[in-house]
């Protein structure tokens, strides 16, 4: 999945679980929803070393647990913290259902216990290689589909509370 789908899941987690509902906590939930994809940045920074291949070390339960715990330290109440964990796991679930075309195919869900790859493919996948595929019509359609499936329903069903919060001075307090 792309950051579009993961951000939609972060917005949903924030809306369902966060009690504070500020811009800062919204950013935190969206960041957690996307955090396992930090491997993309690491892969670029460390010159494509094997250790930072996409979905190699960052797409597993242990990674999500550790980083969800660290991010949850920024929140005060148990409900919001639970939401951070569930939002982190939403990344794994959404990547589990996507049609993966780039090796490794699937995610190493139970690493370091096992290196087995897991995948339940049914949702279209963004093509990343060759780099010209990144801006293809096919990828545009996939991004639009992710927006329609993962973002639009959240915005639609929570439109009134979202609008109220967005216009509130309390939302903008960190």
**Domain residue ranges of the chain, discontinuous segments joined by +:** 3-163
Low-confidence residues in the chain, pLDDT < 70 = 48-53, 174
Q: What pLDDT is attached to residue 52? A: 61
Nearest-5° angle of CA 140, CA 143, CA 147? 140
Residues 6+ apart with CB under 8 A from 10: 26, 29, 30, 31, 32, 33, 34, 87, 90
Instruction: Let me know: does 117 contact 59? Beta carbons within 8 Å.
Output: no
Instruction: Let me know: does 72 contact 87? Beta carbons within 8 Å.
Output: no
What average pLDDT is seen over the chain? 91
In sequence order, the β-bridge partners of residue 122 are: none
Nearest to 86 by CA among 62, 68, 60: 68
Nearest to 161 by CA among 33, 5, 19, 34: 19
State how far the Cα of 61 lies from the Cα of 76, in Å rounded to an integer: 23
Q: What pLDDT is attached to residue 135? A: 84
Q: What pLDDT is attached to residue 174? A: 66
Q: What pLDDT is attached to residue 103? A: 76
Record the pTM. Answer: 0.92
């Amino acid at each position: 999945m792309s950051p579009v789908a993961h951000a939609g899941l972060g917005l949903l987690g924030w809306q369902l679980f966060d009690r504070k509902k500020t811009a800062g906590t919204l950013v935190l939930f969206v960041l957690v929803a996307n955090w396992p994809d930090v491997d993309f940045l690491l892969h670029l920074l460390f010159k494509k070393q094997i250790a930072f291949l996409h979905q190699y070390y960052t797409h597993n339960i242990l990674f999500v647990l550790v980083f969800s715990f660290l991010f949850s330290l920024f929140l005060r109440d148990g409900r919001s913290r639970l939401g951070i964990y569930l939002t982190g796991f939403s990344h794994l679930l959404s990547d589990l259902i996507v049609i993966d075309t780039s090796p490794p195919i699937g995610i190493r869900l139970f690493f370091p216990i096992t290196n087995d790859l897991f995948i339940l493919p049914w949702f279209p996948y963004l093509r990343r290689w060759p780099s010209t595929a990144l801006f293809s019509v096919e990828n545009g359609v996939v991004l639009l589909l992710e927006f329609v499936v993962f973002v639009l329903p959240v915005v639609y069903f929570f439109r009134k509370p979202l609008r109220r919060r967005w216009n509130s001075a309390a939302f903008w307090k960190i």
